[in-house]
Amino acid sequence: MSEPVFQRLALIGIGLIGASIALATRRAGLAGHIAVTSRTAATLARAEELKLGDSYHGEPAAATRDADCVILCAPVGASGAIAEAIAPALKPGAIVSDVGSVKAAVITAVQPHIPEGVHFVPAHPVAGTEYSGPDAGFAELFDGRWTILTPPAGSDPAAVARLTRLWQGLGANVEVMAAEHHDLVLAITSHVPHLIAYNIVGTAAHLETVTRSEVMKFAAGGFRDFTRIAASDPTMWRDVFLNNREAVLEMLGRFMEDLTALQRMIRYSEGDKLFDLFTRTREIRRGIIAAGQETAVPDFGRPHGKPDEPRT
Amino acid sequence: MSEPVFQRLALIGIGLIGASIALATRRAGLAGHIAVTSRTAATLARAEELKLGDSYHGEPAAATRDADCVILCAPVGASGAIAEAIAPALKPGAIVSDVGSVKAAVITAVQPHIPEGVHFVPAHPVAGTEYSGPDAGFAELFDGRWTILTPPAGSDPAAVARLTRLWQGLGANVEVMAAEHHDLVLAITSHVPHLIAYNIVGTAAHLETVTRSEVMKFAAGGFRDFTRIAASDPTMWRDVFLNNREAVLEMLGRFMEDLTALQRMIRYSEGDKLFDLFTRTREIRRGIIAAGQETAVPDFGRPHGKPDEPRT
């Protein structure tokens, strides 16, 4: 157990990320008290059944009162309204943070509501699964993954250091960068990949010549990898694209240019160019494995023909 | 152990698929003798070290002699030349098959070389990993996966039934369809997904504003799933795109149209349309899991923060 970093940690929203923070905080003894809130009564009740917190609140302001750290764990589109709701309850010296996948837009939405004497240190844990809700949370989610902090210019270094200690205690590596740069990095490493995955699953669903049943049966050829991320939370991802529009459109434009070039190589049978690209892309995966962000297990270690799988 | 389906099975090529066929054939006792060949001396020597076969041959024709089943397990671009090389050694009544990811082009390349009295039954096991070479093979690769047979019109039903028995013995479910339909189905379930994965990894590698090290560190946001399939064998995939050009261009065109529509939704902040698409795509994944072609383990069951992963 570590020394508690905060006396009272308030989690505004208790889905996959909020629940995982609660469990990892408990695992390492990082907070004296965890106050949980959800705007959905059923979710709050479920969080209580799962014993994720020490107190449960229907109103964000009630959870926030007396908290020395408040983390917004809701879709980014809700950030501004939450900040407005909790502002009157924030105590001097408290740290407000979030877990949004987009940072510049969140700063724009939240910063105006932060009272004098309260520190706003935005954060983004780059970790997740395709499942959502409090039952999807687990204490190991952040272990070995990166959390990016994007403190606005002039942030209190002590507040940044304290939030860094929290995230390290939750198992994560911490990196600090400018919000705008974060949004560009995540556009290519996360947002555009999600968009593409959603898109190809949509394309496959609309074909007249290939049935849905065929798509599902023969998905092992590669398609099913895309369906995992295309099963991610729709509200969260809608908000990501609406709030990181410029960076996503920039990276998507590059992706489409490159894809058009590939299309042309196929049309004109330029095998050497295809081979060159396909060879270079292998290195990137090796780098990700070396960076500890992926395992080298073939085919994601999927079971082949386990007895519980239907056979025809 | 099953009754052997063939007395002598010749495998022309001993990479991931050839080696897995050898191991699964042995597991179920499906052949009296497995003759292995590779055009690369080092690969053949390695196959012998791994004891994948009963005899080892530098020349495809030598492995083919007396075989009642010959399976081409090489990249599809090599199919025609191999068929030409083995044709004089094929014995009457033998079955020639393959494992190519493209079927119409393989039929065009191979059929003219098949002697009178020999049966050509093309096949495609829809299974694989991102690794290649004889060491990548494992006996369970085909368990619960689908193998598609695409016998040309007028094929001998007895030959098709015999090859079906082999594939079922190897662990696969078997489906029969026309080669042209196969190529269309696989274009959307496998070829275009691979192309997109190769493409986004390439796009990420060329950015000036985001470093390669950043791409690797923050890959857990979604990108790393794409790198798995973008690490697949370059020769095999070059040949797939060159040999299934029409179907790939057709499906790629649809994908790009749909992506352009998504791009527009983002530009004009059409959140409801984004939400609708993101909701519908979840169902497809559920269908793939229900079809036994995927497991429901979150995040592909990746370990989070295992001790052997580097931490900073």
pLDDT per residue as tens digits for the range A139-177:
999 999 999 999 999 999 999 999 999 999 999 999 999
Number of folded domains that form chain A = 2
Q: Is B193 on the interface with A (CB under 8 A)?
A: yes
> pLDDT at residue A205 above 90?
yes
Q: B121 and B151 in contact (C-beta within 8 Å)?
A: yes
Q: State residue A3's pLDDT score.
A: 80
Domain of B139, in residue numbers: 6-177
How much of chain A, in percent, has pLDDT values that exceed 70? 97
**Locus of tokens 């989070």:** B304
Q: A16 and A104 in contact (C-beta within 8 Å)?
A: no
The verdict on residue A28 lying in a domain is yes
Q: State residue B24's pLDDT score.
A: 98
Residues A173 and A26 in one domain: yes
Which of B148, B181, B294 is best to mutate for the A interface (most A CBs within 10 A)? B294
Residue B290's pLDDT band (cuts 50, 70, 90): very high
3-state secondary structure chain A: CCCCCEEEEEEECCCHHHHHHHHHHHHHCCEEEEEEECCCHHHHHHHHHCCCCCEEECCHHHHHCCCCEEEECCCHHHHHHHHHHHHHHCCCCCEEEECCCCCHHHHHHHHHHCCCCCEECCEEEECCCCCCCHHHCCCCCCCCCEEEECCCCCCCHHHHHHHHHHHHHCCCEEEECCHHHHHHHHHHHHHHHHHHHHHHHHHHHCCCCCCHHHHHHCHHHCHHHHHHHCCCCHHHHHHHHHHCHHHHHHHHHHHHHHHHHHHHHHHCCCHHHHHHHHHHHHHHHHHHHHCCCCCCCHHHHCCCCCCCCCCC
B82-117 residue pLDDT tens:
999 999 999 999 999 999 999 999 999 999 999 999
Report d(CA A256, CA A66) in Å as an integer.
50
Report d(CA A25, CA B212) in Å as an integer.
32
| Of B101, B192, B298, Cβ closest to residue A130 | B298
Residue A168 sits in a domain of what CATH number? 3.40.50.720
Q: State residue B310's pLDDT score.
A: 39
CA distance A278 to chain B (A): 5
The DSSP output letter for B293 is: S
Residues A220 and A293 in one domain: yes
Please give the single-letter amino acid code of residue B118.
V
Residues B172 and B188 in one domain: no
Residue B234 sits in a domain of what CATH number? 1.10.3660.10
Take residue B43 and report the two structure tokens written for it.
């690969």
> pLDDT at residue B140 above 60?
yes
Please give the single-letter amino acid code of residue B73.
C
For helices B234-243 and B245-267, give the axis angle rounded to 10 degrees: 100
Residues B21 and B120 in one domain: yes
The verdict on residue B51 lying in a domain is yes
Q: State residue B306's pLDDT score.
A: 53
Select from A177, A209, A230 the last residue of a domain: A177
Select from A127, A151, A177 the last residue of a domain: A177
Q: State residue A304's pLDDT score.
A: 82
- Give the A window 219-238 contacts with B, CB below 8 Å: 219-232, 234-235, 237-238
Residues B132 and B187 in one domain: no
Residues A203 and A285 in one domain: yes
The verdict on residue B305 lying in a domain is no
Please give the single-letter amino acid code of residue B145.
R
- Mean pLDDT over each residue of chain A, to the nearest integer: 95
Strand residues in B51-165 grouped as ranges (E) = 55-57, 69-72, 95-98, 119-120, 123-126, 146-149
Q: State residue B1's pLDDT score.
A: 57
Question: What is the ipTM metric for this complex?
Answer: 0.93
Those residues with Cβ within 8 angstroms of residue B161's Cβ, 6 or more apart along the chain or in another chain: none
| Of B141, B189, B231, Cβ closest to residue A281 | B231
Q: State residue A306's pLDDT score.
A: 53
| Of B219, B249, B258, Cβ closest to residue A199 | B258
The verdict on residue A291 lying in a domain is yes
A212-269 residue pLDDT tens:
999 999 999 999 999 999 999 999 999 999 999 999 999 999 999 999 999 999 999 9
Residue numbers in A near B190 (CB within 8 A)? 218, 221-223
Residues A16 and A159 in one domain: yes
- Give the mean model confidence (pLDDT) for residues B113-138: 97
> pLDDT at residue A311 above 90?
no
Q: Is A304 on the interface with B (CB under 8 A)?
A: yes
Q: Is A241 on the interface with B (CB under 8 A)?
A: yes
> For B62-66, B111-115, B171-175, B295-299, which range has the lowest pLDDT when averaged over its residues?
B295-299
Residues B121 and B160 in one domain: yes
- Give the mean model confidence (pLDDT) for residues B52-78: 98
Residues A243 and A255 in one domain: yes
Strand pairing partners for A12? Answer: A37, A72
CB pairs under 8 A between A and B: 410
Residue A2's pLDDT band (cuts 50, 70, 90): low
Q: State residue B114's pLDDT score.
A: 98
Residues A39 and A159 in one domain: yes
Residue numbers in A near B231 (CB within 8 A)? 281-282, 285-286
The verdict on residue B60 lying in a domain is yes
**Locus of tokens 């082949």:** A304
Q: Is A264 on the interface with B (CB under 8 A)?
A: no
> pLDDT at residue B312 above 60?
no
The verdict on residue B132 lying in a domain is yes
B247-286 residue pLDDT tens:
999 999 999 999 999 999 999 999 999 999 999 998 899 9
- Give the mean model confidence (pLDDT) for residues A75-94: 98
- Give the A window 32-71 contacts with B, CB below 8 Å: none
B10 membership: H or E segment, kind and range: strand B6-12
- Mean pLDDT over each residue of chain B, to the nearest integer: 95
Residues A22 and A171 in one domain: yes
Q: A72 and A96 in contact (C-beta within 8 Å)?
A: yes
C-alpha count within 13 angstroms, C-beta hemisphere, residue A220: 30
> For A22-31, A37-46, A213-222, which range has the lowest pLDDT when averaged over its residues?
A213-222
Report d(CA B38, CA B40) in Å as an integer.
5
- Closest residue of B to A296, CA-based? B228
> pLDDT at residue A26 above 80?
yes
Residue B304's pLDDT band (cuts 50, 70, 90): confident
Q: Is B127 on the interface with A (CB under 8 A)?
A: yes
> pLDDT at residue A307 above 60?
no
Residue A179 has a CB neighbour count (10 Å cut-off) of 21
Does residue A29 come out as left (phi exceeding 0), alpha (psi in the -120 to 50 range) or beta? left
| Of B189, B214, B290, Cβ closest to residue A218 | B189
**Locus of tokens 């990479």:** B15
Residues A88 and A161 in one domain: yes
The verdict on residue A311 lying in a domain is no
Residue numbers in B near A208 (CB within 8 A)? none
Residue A305's pLDDT band (cuts 50, 70, 90): low
Q: State residue A60's pLDDT score.
A: 98
> pLDDT at residue B226 above 50?
yes
Angle in degrees, CA A161, A162, A166, rounded to 5? 115
Q: State residue A309's pLDDT score.
A: 43
Residue B13's pLDDT band (cuts 50, 70, 90): very high
Q: Is B259 on the interface with A (CB under 8 A)?
A: yes
The verdict on residue A17 lying in a domain is yes
Select from A177, A198, A227 the last residue of a domain: A177
> pLDDT at residue A303 above 90?
no
